[in-house]
Each structure stands twice: as C-alpha cells, then as structure tokens.
Amino acid sequence: MERIGFVGLGLMGGYMAQNILGGGYPLTVVAHRNRGTVDALTARGASEADDAAALASQCDIVFVCVPTSEHVEMVVEGEKGLRAGAKAAGHKLIIVDCSTSEPTVTRRLAASLESDGITLVDAALGGTPTQAEAGQLQAIVGSDEETLARLRPVLETWAGKILHCGAVGAGHTMKLLNQFLAMSYGAVFSEALTIGAKAGISPQTFDSVIRGSRMDSGFYQTFFQYVLERDRDAHRFTLANAGKDIRYVAALADALDVKADVAHAVSDLYASALDQGEGEKFVPELSDIVAARHQLSLF
C-alpha cells in the first residue's frame, strides 16, 4: 500500500489527512502550528516526521496543502524540503500540490523536479470545509494519465469528484478561473448591496428578488447567509486567501498577454480591503467593508 505524507494541516488539509488515514493508508505528517490536528491524527495511528525531508524519505506520495506558491516552493526546495529528502532516500516521489498555486510556478517546478525523478501534479480543491470533512471535495487535477491512475484510489478517500483537466498546471489554471468567478461574485454582491442601500433597497428586498431566480447560486446563498443572518461560519474563506487567488488570476492573465480589466478591478478591491487590515475576515464581510466606506450599515 502507498505510504502517504501530508504537509499543511489547515482547515482543509486536516480533514483531507483524516480521510486518507480513514481510508487505511499509512500516513505521516509534519508539525503544524495547530498541534491539535497533529495530535488527533497521531492518536489515530499517523506518524509524525521532524521535517519535510524526513517525510519525503518515508513516503511514496506527499500531499501539500499550503497557502501560496511561495510556501509550496519552500516546502519542496528548502534545505530540509521534499526534494532533498527524496534524493537522499534514492526513491521516486510523487508530490501532489493541493494548494491554489500559480500555474506558471507549478509547471516550472514540475520540470525542475523531473530531473531528480520526482513527479509533481496539481490537484486543486473545490468545495468547503464541510465537504472536506465529509470526503466530498472536488479534486481539480493536472497530471499525466499514468500518474493519475496511481493516485486515484488515494484521491478518492477525500474527493467525491475527480476532474482531470489536462497536463500538470491545468488543475491550478482551472481552479484560478473558478476563483475568478467566485471572487467577482463577492465583489459584485458587495457593491450591488451598497448601491441598493444608497437607493433605499434593503438587503432583505434585494434577496427577495434574487433568491430562486436565475442569478441564485450556492455561492450566493452562503454569502447572503452572512448578510442576512450574520452567520460567519456560512462561508469560511478569508479575504487574505481571496485576495491572493484573484491576484494570481490577474498575474496569469498578464503572463498570457490577456487584457483582463475585470480581473484587475476585482483584485484591486480585495487588495484595498487587505490594506485596511481586514485579511482575516471572511469573503461575505466584504459587503460590510464596502458599505462602511459610504457611511452605510447593511445590518
């Protein structure tokens, strides 16, 4: 049976690792700032490695679920990183990057790792923490067919749907396109609510027209669960992560020489919220931030 490693036991990664372990796979993790997750996994039979190099030396497949491409590169290329550990052990390793990363970085890193017999694939995540806990995430994959066939049984422990989008980098590209839509919805909803409030339209009236119409969606419903009910747990995705993702979208468009005015405008709105120190707030709270700039309260 494949020996699995996991780096990045955050809100999504902790549940994914839990489901891998529940699928019967030997699991090794590295220390995380949230010791509670590590302790819970080791109590259920997981092992803990001292660093990423030690992890790589003990595993056949390592999943990485960290905030940015910069973090991925640190985990892989650091002095005690995955590349160093795999080379020292002399075995071929598969690294699965489940982060929302820059596709250009993903492809460059994959090409570099190939020279050491290490395969990098991307399996970006679609879904919520609730779906992660239930093992029902989407795995948005960029990989060759042979590697995906080997990975599929492990992916199935935490993914309800595996979507093969093409070669390495395609998964991260498709995830960024998804995030472009999502973060744009958040920006549009926030500005629409503020315009409406200025014109005397309450969020409740707004919702009575949109809900159940062609403009309704799962994203809309969780966003408005916060707007109407002030339920912060309805849509747990921070503005810091949202700002990073839409910044990556704009950078990808620039790299492809696409004039992406909308992507840059959305990126600027999220960046302005981050500049105010609002990064730890969740995406629906952008509606309050935009309204407050016009001396309005939506609630």
> Residues with catalytic annotation?
175
Token reading at 164: 């093969």
Cα 195 to Cα 131: distance, rounded to the nearest angstrom: 34
Question: Which residues, including other chains, have CB under 8 Å from residue 44's CB and lie 6 or more apart?
Answer: 18, 21
Alpha helices in 135-238 (DSSP H): 145-155, 170-198, 203-210, 218-229
231, amino acid identity: D
Asked if residue 193 lies in contact with residue 227, where contact means CB atoms within 8 angstroms, the answer is: yes
43, amino acid identity: A
Cα 191 to Cα 248: distance, rounded to the nearest angstrom: 22
Cα 186 to Cα 190: distance, rounded to the nearest angstrom: 6
Q: Apex CA 57: angle with CA 54 and CA 62, to 5°?
A: 90
Asked if residue 143 lies in contact with residue 167, where contact means CB atoms within 8 angstroms, the answer is: yes
Q: Long-range contacts made by residues 133-140, C-beta under 8 angstroms, separation at least 24?
A: 133/15, 133/18, 134/160, 135/19, 135/22, 135/159, 135/160, 136/160, 136/161, 137/12, 137/16, 137/161, 138/162, 138/163, 139/98, 139/163, 139/171, 140/165, 140/171, 140/174, 140/175, 140/178
Cα 286 to Cα 270: distance, rounded to the nearest angstrom: 8
